[in-house]
Chain A
Amino acid sequence: MRSPDPFVPSLFRVDRVRRESADTVTLGLLPIQGEIPAFRSGQFFMLYAFGIGEIPVSVSGLWGQGPLLHTVRAVGPVSQALCRLRPGDTLGVRGPYGSPWPLPQAEGGDLLLIAGGLGLAPLRSALLPALAERERYGRIALLYGARSPADLLFGEERSDWSSRDDLQVEVTVDHASPAWRGSVGVVPARISHTRFAPERTHAFVCGPEVMMRYSAAALLGAGVPPARIFLSLERNMKCAFAVCGRCQFGSTFICRDGPVFAYDRISRLLSLREL
């Protein structure tokens, strides 16, 4: 009996597709055989599009008790191919890989989720379980920034979230449209508009690296301890289990030791150019 080959994906079928914006879709995936593998929010899977290639994509959660959700933005050949998939199509999936958002550690205190762009997808996978066990947390706030109102993701769900009394939602865009009534500007600027007790807060941040660096600085400025700020990093990766060498960041492998890192562990590395 041969041991399993870690490079060989399992086959999944697209169960449903939800268009989130002009260039972004959420794919609901079900395994052709067996169960959806157990995962924790913040982890990622490698998704393979037939003949095109494979990319890491964070889990954006489950669809109720249904399929595994991945939200994909069409930016390169593989993500474009994934965004073209239709219900019934087959794709390769392997995982989960990487470190999760430390939700259990955040229990009993306030929780800040700070998302930039597509970074909302991995944070959705943290927000949903936190809302499902709402009583375990103090205040919860979601701060979300996108390039423009047309780029905002999870529209219907977000309006549900905004209507909740037990969740503060702050949304901002870089460039407003004429109809936009919300705030304009960068996400870190919304931190000062958010209600939380810094000393008992955990902050999970996911977005472009520059946005995460400024968010971390703003959180530190507000008094959140560096060991309670968590960032989800991204680098080129091919294997997802620390043998292709590509995602090294200092002595860490982002695929294995990350993608979710405590800020105190990586702040020095983040300050180095072209590391």
Chain B
Amino acid sequence: MPEGHVPTAGEAIIDREGLQALLDALGARGFSVIGPRIRDEAIVYAPLRNVADLPEGWTDRQDGGRYRLERRGDRALFGYAVGPHSWKQFLFPPRQRLWQARRTEAGFDLLEEPPPSERWAFLGIRACELHALAIQDRVFLGGSHPDRSYAERRRDLFLVALQCGEPSGTCFCVSMETGPKASSGFDLALTELLGDGSHRFLVEVGSRAGEEILAAIPHRSAGEADRREAEAVLDSTASRMGRTLDTRGIRELLQDHPEHPRWEEVATRCLACANCTMVCPTCFCSTVEDHTALTGESAERTRLWDSCFSLDFSYLHGGSVRKEIRSRYRQWITHKLSTWFDQFGSSGCVGCGRCITWCPVGIDITEEVRAIRSSLLEPTHA
């Protein structure tokens, strides 16, 4: 929906009631709002209707293999970074029926899936996640056979971005040049402001649809002090990145060293559990399953998220191509940071840090790159 240039009337300010009015306005326009909520001691993306559904006063503490929610001591509604969910689950569902087949007299017929019945508004999509969305757009829609179900879900999306106020210990969007500021690709963007004892949100407009919604909710024009505070929020976030990744020459760094001893080393720690690929907002690999009813009268085909870490992923009559974990880790990181450029014109990594946080043994993509890069600088390594 955020298409084309929109002359903005300048930023606006809404308060908590204004945020509720925004949720109500989206609901009134037929959008199901998805946003951050606490579930199973983590902040996930789920349907919500009220400001009270948001994780008020909570933050997250993240490091390699570690995620904990903690109290903040203020009433911030967005005072945390990204959790185990990414938005890809809504456009590219983890489990999705592709079609059904029914036996007939003559053989069988195929039944296509209906168009999606819901229109979604994403509340709180961050700069790194907007980049991830743009990357998945290129994967699913940029080829010769656009993925129809992705296209239909994507088309009606309303995006309320969040200018990030709280990076986690595993964030590195500054290194990947994907954040923390969201500058395009949204309908509205919020910056949560907590200063001056007044809890409010600076609202930027990114599309006509966003403009129309803003006009429908109580707001005032932003002043210079509001704008300065919003800038300070982003400056502070940018200065507190938990990780860094040196991306200079990274495409060649990885493609040119497929036999580097570090791959063996990381394989001694990697469990090939696939967590990193499940939480990654850009990983798009999938498999399909075929099921038949017990009567044999009908069958269906389902697409499921899959991972380059599974043995079955590379199975070719007689065995898997990538038998060793070394080969599977190499495939993942080389694809993510290197061959993705050749395939889709950008990195496949947006620096969200999820793969580091949710790795059960805390393998750190930034550290693995650093290890390979630094080993090549040592004169002993030919």
Contact = CB atoms under 8 A, between A and B. Distances in A.
Interface stretch (A4-12, A135-143, A162-170, A187-195): A4-12
A242 B306 contact: no
Contacts of A275: 258, 321-322, 327, 331
Contact of B285 (A51, A76, A245, A273): A245
For the complex of A and B, list the 4 residue pairs with the smallest distance between their C-beta atoms, beginning with the closest. A90-B107, A245-B285, A51-B292, A251-B342
Interface in B139-170: 139-140, 143-149, 151-152
Contact of A5 (B99, B287, B326): B99
Contacts of A52: 290, 292
Given A3-B146, A4-B148, A244 B290 contact: no
B28 interface: no
15 contacts: A5-B149, A8-B112, A11-B108, A13-B107, A50-B101, A53-B290, A90-B107, A235-B314, A242-B343, A243-B140, A243-B286, A245-B286, A245-B308, A248-B331, A251-B342
A58 to B, nearest CB: 14
A275 to B, nearest CB: 7
A92 interface: yes
A154 B144 CA distance: 34
A256 B101 contact: no
Given A5-B148, A248-B331, A274 B343 contact: no
Contacts of A8: 98-99, 110, 112
Assign chain B's interface to a size class. Answer: 35 or more
A258 B286 CA distance: 20
B4 interface: no
B145 A241 contact: yes
B284 interface: yes
B248 interface: no
Contact of A51 (B107, B146, B290): B290
A131 to B, nearest CB: 30
A13 B109 CA distance: 12
Interface in B98-114: 98-99, 101, 103, 106-110, 112-113
B323 interface: yes
A236 interface: yes
A216 B21 CA distance: 68
Contacts of B377: none
B107 A89 contact: yes
Contact of B108 (A5, A90, A241, A248): A90
A238 B143 contact: no
A36 interface: no
Given A243-B143, A251-B343, A2 B115 contact: yes
Contact of A3 (B151, B286, B296, B326): B151
Nearest to A79: B317
